[in-house]
Structure 1
Amino acid sequence: MSGLLARHRAVLPDWLALYYRQPIELVRGEGRHVWDADGTRYLDFFGGILTTMTAHALPEVTRAVVEQAGRLLHSSTLYLDRPMVELAERVAVLSGIPDARVFFTTSGTEANDTALLLATAYRRSPQVLAMRNGYHGRSFSTVGVTGNRAWSPTDLSPLRTLYVHGGVRTRGPYAHLSDVEFTAACVADLEDLLGQVSGSVAALIAEPVQGVGGFTSPPDGLYAAFREVLDRHGILWISDEVQTGWGRTGDHFWGWQAHGANGPPDLLTFAKGIGNGMSIGGVVARAEVMNCLDAHSISTFGGSPVTMAAGLANLGHLLDHDLPGNARRVGGLLIERLRAAASRVPAVREVRGRGLMIGVELVRPGTDEADPDATSRVLEAAREGGLLIGKGGGHATSVLRIAPPLSLTVAEAQEGAAILEAALHAR
C-alpha cells in the first residue's frame, strides 16, 4: 500500500470509492491527457466524471482563474458580482426557458437539491416523481429521489418519491416493445400511477440520459409525451442536465431537446462541464417558480467570482470552437468503432450512447446477467494500456462509461478505441 493510500484510508470515509486495485494519484493534465505521480501518461476518457469538458489546462480558463484570483477571490452573493451576472445572462438565454432566472451552486447535488426545494415549495407538496435507475446526487433530498440501489444508502427522506418506467430502454418489462409501444406503455404507467396518488405531485425529476445508471436513455420523445400528462396535472418537469448539458450528446445542447416539441422544462439543473473542473452548479427556472420562496436565502460560495470567471471563459471556448459539433462528429466515429470491436466480444451486451457519452454494458456470455467483475477487469486493463474510463450501471456496476473532453480528436478517439478493444479481449 502506498503511503498516500494509507493516509487516505486513515482519515477519509470507507465509502469514498477509489478506482483500481492500486489507486493512482493524478498530478498534471494537458489537453485530453493526464499524468500520475509516477510520470505515467494516460488518455483521459472520463474527465473527472464528465467534468473536464473542454480540455485539461485550457489556457483561457487558467488565465481567467489567475486574473480573477489576483483581483478578488471571494465576496458571496450579498454583493453584486459582475462575472456571476454575465454568466447568468448567457446561461438564461442558452437554457431556452422564458423569463429565466439562474441560481448558482457549487455542485450538481446542490443544484438538484435546490430544484427540489423550489418545486415542492411552488407546488406546496412533498411528492415527487423520479425515474427508475436514476441518480441525482448524494444529499439527503437527492438520495431520496435516486432510483439506483447502489447509490441509495438510506430509505429515509424528506420527500415521498414515486418511481416511473422509462429511463432504461433495453431492460425491464417493456424492453421487448418497439419505441412507439415503449413510450405508450411508459405513459400509461405514469397515468396509472398518478391515478393512485392522494394529493398533488410537485415535479418529475429526470436525466435525459442516465449517467451513473450506465448511460441509458429512453426513445427520443418520451419526455415530451410525459410532459403532456404532467401539464394536465400541473406537475413541474425538472431536467437534470448535470451530465448531459453543454452539448455532450452532440445532437443537442441540452439533453431535453431530444424530446422537445413541447418546449423547455420548467426547471433545468446543470454542473460538471461548465466549470471544466471548477466547482459550479446551478438551477434555471422561469421567474414565477424561482421567486416562489418567501424566506431569505444567500449562497456563500455559489457564484464565486473565480468560478464564474472560469465558467465564462470555458463556455466561450466551447461555443467559439463548436465543441458540441465535434462531440457529434468524433463521438459518432468512436461509437461505431466500439460497436465493431464489441461485435467480436461475447461479453458485450450493448454499446449505447450519443455524442461523447458512451456506455459499454458487460454481461456473462450467453446471458443478460450483469458481470461487474468483468467490468472491473476491463477498467484495470484499460488503465494498464494507458486509458482512463469510468464505470456504472443499475444492474450492478457492469457498464463501462466513456466520456472524454469534447475537444477529443479523431486520432485520440481511434487510439482510445484500440486500447479499450484490447482491454475487452484481455479481461
Structure 2
Amino acid sequence: MNRDLFARHRAVLPDWLALYYEDPLEITHGEGRHVWDAAGNKYLDFFGGILTTMTAHALPEVTKAVAEQAGRINHSSTLYLNRPMVELAERVAHVSGIPDARVFFTTSGTEANDTALLLATAYRRSNAILAMRNSYHGRSFSAVGITGNRGWSPTSLSPLQTLYVHGGVRTRGPYAHLDDRDFVDACVADLEDLLGHTRTPAALIAEPVQGVGGFTSPPDGLYAAFREVLHERGILWIADEVQTGWGRTGEHFWGWQAHGRNGPPDIVTFAKGIGNGMSIGGVIARAEIMNCLDANSISTFGGTQVTMAAGLANLNHLLEHDLQGNARRVGGLLIERLRAVAAQVPHVREVRGRGLMIGVELTLPGTDEAAPEAATAVLEEARAGGLLIGKGGGHSTSVLRIAPPMSLTVAEAEEGAAILERALRSI
C-alpha cells in the first residue's frame, strides 16, 4: 500500500468516503477486464468501478473518440448547439422505447434521479413519492430522501414525502414465503392500501434490480402490476436504470422490460456504464413531461462534448458486438458455477442475479442473520487471489456484488469463479 497517499487521503477527504480493503488499493491502469495497482499487481476486475466500466478498460474506440474530441473542444455548456450531445440523444431516445422521447444529460446517476424527481413533482404538482424498501438512488438531498436503505441515508430531512412499498426484495420480509404470483398480489394489495391513506403521489421510483441493496429483484411482472394501479390514479413510473441499463441483465436491454407488458415507464434514468468511466448520466421522458418545467435551466457539464463522444463510441461498440447477448450467455454460466460452489459453503444464503449482475448473500450458517464480517473477509481473500469484487446489501453489507465488464469471456468467468470459490471456502 502507498501509505503516504493513504495518509494524504485521510487528511483532506471526508471520513465517510469509504475505502475498500484494510490496505486500500490504488489502481493505476487497466486493459480489457483487468486492472493493475501501484505495486504492479494484476487483478481480474469483477466490479468495473461500481458498474461504470461497462464494455472494457481502455476500450480503443472510446479512448480514440475522447482523444479526437479533446483535440477539438472539451466543453461549451448547453447554451450552444452541441453535435455529439444531439447525436447521443438521438441514439438514446431510439433505444429507450419511450414514444416522443426527450433526453436530458447530467453528470451522474444521482443528478439524473434528482432531475427525474423534479420533473415528476412539477408535472403532477405533488411532493409525495413512492419508493421501494431497500432502494438506493444517489447522494443528493432529494435522492437520499427517497433511499430505502438505511446504510446510505444519513438524514431523515427531505423536501419530499416518501412512502415505502414492499416488493424489491423477493426472499426477505413478510411476503417471502409466498409463491411468485401470491407475492405480486400481496405487494399490489399493500400498494393499494397505502394509496388509500395518503394524498396522490407524483411517482413511483424503482430500480428493476436493486444495486446497492445487494442485486435483489422482485418476480418479473411486479412493476407491470404496480403500473396498472398507478395509471388509474395518474401516478408516474420512474425506472432507475443507473445500474441495470444497456443490456447488463442479459435478458433485456432495460431492466424495466421484465415488467413491461403495459409499455415503457414515463421516465427512465441512466448513468454509469454508458460512459465507460466518463461522467455521464441522464433522463429520458415523454416530451410533455420533460417540457413541463416553466423556468429556465441548463446543465453546465451535462452533455459536455468529450463525454458525449465517449458515450456514443461506447454505445456503438456495445450494440455492434452484442454485449447484451454476451452478458446473458457468460452471466448465465457464471451464476450456475457460483451456485454449485454455494451449495458447499454454509455461509452462502443465496446466489441471485441476471446476466452480469450477480449477488452472493452471506449469513451466519443455518440462519438468516447477515454476516458482514464474512463478506469483508471474502473481499480481502479475493483480492489476495487477484480478483476485485464489491459488496452491499440492505441487511448490513453482507452481499458480494459481481458485475464485470460485459465483454467478459468464458475463460475469465471461470478464472474469477475459481478465485471466488477459494475465498468463500476460506471462511
Q: TM-score higher than 0.5 here?
A: yes
- 1:119 aligned partner: 120
- 2:170 aligned partner: 169
In the alignment of these two chains, the number of paired residues is: 426
2:233 pairs with 1:233:
yes
- 2:211 aligned partner: 211
- 1:248 aligned partner: 248
Q: CA deviation at 1:271?
A: 0.1
- 2:12 aligned partner: 11
Residues 55-104 of structure 1 show CA distances to partners (whole Å, capped at 9, x for unaligned) of 00000000000000000011000000000000000000100000000000
2:305 pairs with 1:305:
yes
Q: CA deviation at 1:200?
A: 2.2
Q: CA deviation at 1:38?
A: 0.1
2:351 pairs with 1:351:
yes
SS at match of 2:351: strand
Please report the TM-score for the alignment, with normalisation by the length of structure 1: 0.99
- Whole-Å Cα distance in 2 between the matches of residues 92 and 397 of structure 1? 36
RMSD: 0.5
Counterpart AA for 2:61? E
In structure 1, stretches of 5+ residues that fail to align are none
- Whole-Å Cα distance in 2 between the matches of residues 244 and 314 of structure 1? 16
2:313 pairs with 1:317:
no
Counterpart AA for 1:238? I
Counterpart AA for 1:340? A
Residues 172-208 of structure 1 show CA distances to partners (whole Å, capped at 9, x for unaligned) of 00000000000000000000000000x3210000000
- 2:194 aligned partner: 193
Taking only the aligned residue pairs, the percentage that are identical comes to 82
Q: 1:406-421, aligned counterparts within 5 Å?
A: 406-421=406-421
2:376 pairs with 1:376:
yes
Residues 199-250 of structure 1 show CA distances to partners (whole Å, capped at 9, x for unaligned) of 3210000000000000000000000000000000100000000000000000
- Whole-Å Cα distance in 2 between the matches of residues 224 and 288 of structure 1? 22
Q: 1:22-33, aligned counterparts within 5 Å?
A: 22-33=23-34
- Whole-Å Cα distance in 2 between the matches of residues 74 and 336 of structure 1? 45
- 2:261 aligned partner: 261
SS at match of 1:34: strand
In structure 2, stretches of 5+ residues that fail to align are none
- Whole-Å Cα distance in 2 between the matches of residues 426 and 12 of structure 1? 34
Residues 303-340 of structure 1 show CA distances to partners (whole Å, capped at 9, x for unaligned) of 00000000000000000000000000000000000000
SS at match of 2:102: strand
- 1:286 aligned partner: 286
Counterpart AA for 1:38? A
- Whole-Å Cα distance in 2 between the matches of residues 93 and 320 of structure 1? 15
SS at match of 2:196: helix
Q: 1:397-412, aligned counterparts within 5 Å?
A: 397-412=397-412
- 1:327 aligned partner: 327
- Whole-Å Cα distance in 1 between the matches of residues 323 and 23 of structure 2? 34
Q: CA deviation at 1:294?
A: 0.2
- 1:128 aligned partner: 129
- 1:42 aligned partner: 43
2:178 pairs with 1:202:
no
Please report the TM-score for the alignment, with normalisation by the length of structure 2: 0.99
Q: CA deviation at 1:302?
A: 0.2
